[in-house]
Chains A and B, each alone.
Chain A
Amino acid sequence: MSDHESTYVPKTGIEKWLDSRLPIIRFGADYMSLPTPRNLNYWYTFGGILTLCLMVQIVTGIVLAMHYVPNTELAFASVERIMRDVNGGWLIRYVHANGASMFFIAVYLHMLRGLYYGSYKAPREIIWILGCVIFFLMIATAFLGYVLPWGQMSFWGAEVITNLIGAIPMIGEPVLIWLRGGPAIDNATLNRFFSLHYLLPFVIFGVVVLHLWALHTSGQNNPAGILIPKERTPKDTLPFHPYFTVKDGFAIILFLILFAVFVFYMPNALGHADNYIPANPLQTPAHIVPEWYMLPFYAILRAIPDKFGGVLAMFGAIGVLFILPWLDTSRVRSMRYRPTMKVFFLIFLVVGVGLGWCGAQLPDAQVVPGMPSFQLLDGQLNSYLWLTRLLTAYYFAFFFIIMPWVGLKETPLPVPHSISEPVLDGGIPEKKG
């Protein structure tokens, strides 16, 4: 849709001069007048919210980096110094720490929206894949950032995650040493993690630009999941501004209210108390858990008895998203018209939250306390280990079995011919005064 007619007319001499050399004002004006499907609902506001999240993280992160000291002896105290002695430092650091959680809340809802409305299907495969790249980079950035305060969970989280690399046969051990900068996690590790944590957000920014470029080339999806033919554009779309700037703006403010409640009233609720204990390589915490947004993948990692198998499953759980456009065989995009798939999608939601829950529990703990069960292979049946395995099986079955199979077998509901058809109930004039 980037080929829509440019309606920008430079008025002043300076604008004309600039427009023939660097048409940057035209670029912005065209962006604002972009024809946007008129039926977008609030689930479509998370793109704007995520842009804001990235900006907030970059701005607060740059300020934090001015005061942070990437040294194992000083890192913990330097973060606390930011909270105590830097003017407004407590605000900047709590915004950055909670901002990571907010970023992940928004990205999960954004991805689930794409999954539900079939936003990954042709011609939007590249948008989806770039989104998966951003998600993967976000996980990496968040992990690196969580190590920087050099608390107990920072250190032991880094220990667990880097050890995964060591599970790769043959090359694992040398790669592990290369990544850590030595045989153990130490100052060299912290220094390179800081460097990469500063780098990756700008890489994310670059991929976001590509993500938006691809979006504006193939056009936005919409809850009806139908392509907008050129001749219908004026009827089915509205200019991005003011209709969607105000809608996104309202959603962003609601999101900021949630954000503010966490930052100002429960700034440490989403973190682990152990990360306020300085890192101690000689004392393993009783229970090493990652941040909440990694828990589903952590659960999948632990579900597999073999360490390398667990690593493959964990990366596979993210990797499968990249090939999603080719796993879905349905000709209908939106699950609004796919009643069978909708049920499997809802189960998938429950499974995702369930995996997150399992990731925070001890694998041997009983799911139903006190209920007798029996030993099945390497664990009691009534344990989080087996619940996690059940949920993991559904996670992969959803993509590899349910998606291809339901797409071929189901009978979808009739799909409207245009966006304005369901909206306007056939032929009512679109302006109603």
Chain B
Amino acid sequence: MTIQNGTRSAVFKIVASAVAALSLVAMAAPATAAGGGAKHPRSGGFSFEGPFGTFDQAQLQRGYKVYREVCAACHGMQLMSFRNLGQPGGPFYDAHENWSPAENPYVRALAAEVQVPDIDTETGEPITRPATPADHFPSPYPNATAAAAANGGAAPPDLSVMAKARHDGANYIYSLLSGYVPAPQGLKMAPGQHYNPYMAGDLAPFWEGDEHHVPPGGFIAMPAPLSDGQVTYDDGSPQTVDQYAKDVAAFIAWASDPHAVERKRTGFGVLIFLLLFAGLTYASYRRIWKGIAH
């Protein structure tokens, strides 16, 4: 009887500790909330969500194509190298051939399609040459000032970690890219600005309509970048803005956290181990404390 009571109260105490710990954690929630009155992102239905989700390699390959043919005209991905495309879990990794990222023929071919700046080893003169897997993705502008000057004062942000730099990153990128709609009547637009309901911002100062119905979202300097049929897919996937936006969002999500799948797999093993270890330790605890009043 005493022992049973003891067990019950021990379990209660553990649960109470856990609840207390979680309530402290819950205080973190407001710190991560996205600002502004933007529309909540739509779900892209991504395969990599959830504790067991993995990236869809075909989607990553399509996403890279969209990035390379559309986004790369203005947005750099300075933290990415071509070799990353061929690393385990990457868009062009082949588990059967098991090429190293540097010798992966797809990666070599994709790198060679892009010109990167270098210096001539003989003369020291600036040249451009085809990229190798070791090269970083080249930036479209020589520096941030040039990027801003070419884009009406707003430098296009680097996309290397964009999915981590926005709340609900992949869904946000997907929603933003596929969510352009004409600006509502009564919204004062400055030249070079575009309306997007998913962009963070506060449109109240620019709104001439009903003050209780300020449109959601904000202004964005980037015009709608995607249009139907713009990028050719060779795997039969629909060539629509919605599909392009999903694919490039998936690619950026992978690029932002390339070890995400490895992380979740490791975590599964770690948790199994810890649960078994906890069970064993609890059994030892019960045995050691058997008959000891406390």
Residues in A lying within 8 Å of B, measured CB to CB = 38-43, 77, 80-81, 83-84, 90-91, 94, 101, 104-105, 108-109, 238, 242-243, 246-247, 249-251, 253-254, 256-258, 260-261, 263-265, 267-274, 276-278, 286-287, 289-292, 295, 353, 356-357, 360-361, 420, 423-424, 428, 430-433
In the complex with contacts A272-B32, A353-B23, A357-B27, A246-B285 CB distance below 8 A: yes
Contact A276 B164 (CB under 8 A): yes
Is B221 at the interface (CB under 8 A from chain A)?
Answer: no
Q: Which residues of B contact A277 (CB under 8 A)?
A: 157, 165
Whole-angstrom CA separation of A265 from B261 in the bound complex: 10
Residues in B lying within 8 Å of A, measured CB to CB = 2, 10, 13-14, 17-18, 20-21, 23-25, 27-28, 30-36, 51, 78-79, 84, 157-158, 160-161, 164-167, 169, 200, 256-259, 262-264, 266-268, 270-271, 274-275, 277-278, 281-282, 284-285, 288-289, 291-294
Whole-angstrom CA separation of A84 from B25 in the bound complex: 27
Sample of 11 more A-B contacts, CB < 8 Å, known A83-B257, A263-B267: A84-B84, A105-B24, A257-B274, A258-B21, A260-B267, A269-B32, A271-B32, A292-B27, A292-B28, A360-B30, A420-B293
In the complex with contacts A257-B278, A353-B27, A361-B30, A90-B293 CB distance below 8 A: no
Whole-angstrom CA separation of A77 from B158 in the bound complex: 12
The residue of chain A having its C-beta at the shortest distance from the C-beta of B158 within the complex is: A278
In the complex with contacts A42-B17, A264-B266, A80-B161 CB distance below 8 A: yes
A-B contact count (CB 8 A): 158
CB distance from B75 to the nearest CB of A (A): 14
Contact A291 B258 (CB under 8 A): no
If over half of A's interface residues share one DSSP class (helix, strand or loop), that class is named, otherwise mixed; here it is: helix
Contact B166 A273 (CB under 8 A): yes
In the complex with contacts A250-B282, A432-B291, A360-B31 CB distance below 8 A: yes
Q: Which residues of A contact B10 (CB under 8 A)?
A: 42
Contact A433 B291 (CB under 8 A): yes
Q: List 14 A-B contacts (CB under 8 A).
A: A81-B79, A250-B281, A253-B277, A254-B278, A258-B18, A265-B51, A267-B263, A270-B31, A286-B35, A286-B200, A291-B31, A295-B31, A431-B291, A432-B2
CB distance from A226 to the nearest CB of B (A): 15
If over half of B's interface residues share one DSSP class (helix, strand or loop), that class is named, otherwise mixed; here it is: helix
The residue of chain A having its C-beta at the shortest distance from the C-beta of B268 within the complex is: A264
Pick from A41, A267, A270, A278: contact of B28, CB under 8 Å: A270
CB distance from A16 to the nearest CB of B (A): 31
CB distance from B214 to the nearest CB of A (A): 15
In the complex with contacts A272-B32, A286-B36, A287-B35, A38-B292 CB distance below 8 A: yes
The residue of chain A having its C-beta at the shortest distance from the C-beta of B10 within the complex is: A42
The residue of chain B having its C-beta at the shortest distance from the C-beta of A432 within the complex is: B291
Whole-angstrom CA separation of A295 from B32 in the bound complex: 13
Which of A84, A270, A424, A433 is the most central at the interface, judged by chain B CB atoms within 10 Å of its CB?
Answer: A84
Whole-angstrom CA separation of A84 from B35 in the bound complex: 29
In the complex with contacts A261-B271, A292-B31, A250-B13 CB distance below 8 A: no
Contact B274 A356 (CB under 8 A): no
Q: Which residues of A contact B262 (CB under 8 A)?
A: 90
Whole-angstrom CA separation of A408 from B284 in the bound complex: 45
CB distance from B41 to the nearest CB of A (A): 13
CB distance from A420 to the nearest CB of B (A): 7
In the complex with contacts A238-B292, A242-B288, A253-B278 CB distance below 8 A: yes
The residue of chain B having its C-beta at the shortest distance from the C-beta of A242 within the complex is: B288
In the complex with contacts A273-B166, A276-B165, A361-B30, A108-B278 CB distance below 8 A: no
Contact B25 A105 (CB under 8 A): yes
Whole-angstrom CA separation of A261 from B25 in the bound complex: 12
Q: Which residues of A contact B2 (CB under 8 A)?
A: 432
CB distance from B135 to the nearest CB of A (A): 14
Whole-angstrom CA separation of A80 from B259 in the bound complex: 12
Q: Which residues of A contact B161 (CB under 8 A)?
A: 80, 276
CB distance from A299 to the nearest CB of B (A): 11
The residue of chain B having its C-beta at the shortest distance from the C-beta of A42 within the complex is: B13
CB distance from B63 to the nearest CB of A (A): 18
The residue of chain A having its C-beta at the shortest distance from the C-beta of B284 within the complex is: A246
CB distance from B32 to the nearest CB of A (A): 6
Whole-angstrom CA separation of A81 from B288 in the bound complex: 47
Whole-angstrom CA separation of A55 from B206 in the bound complex: 53
Q: Which residues of B contact A287 (CB under 8 A)?
A: 35
Q: Which residues of B contact A361 (CB under 8 A)?
A: 30
Q: Which residues of B contact A246 (CB under 8 A)?
A: 281, 284-285, 288-289
Contact B267 A38 (CB under 8 A): no
Q: Which residues of A contact B259 (CB under 8 A)?
A: 83-84, 90
In the complex with contacts A253-B274, A287-B35, A292-B28, A274-B165 CB distance below 8 A: yes
CB distance from A256 to the nearest CB of B (A): 6
Q: Which residues of B contact A39 (CB under 8 A)?
A: 294
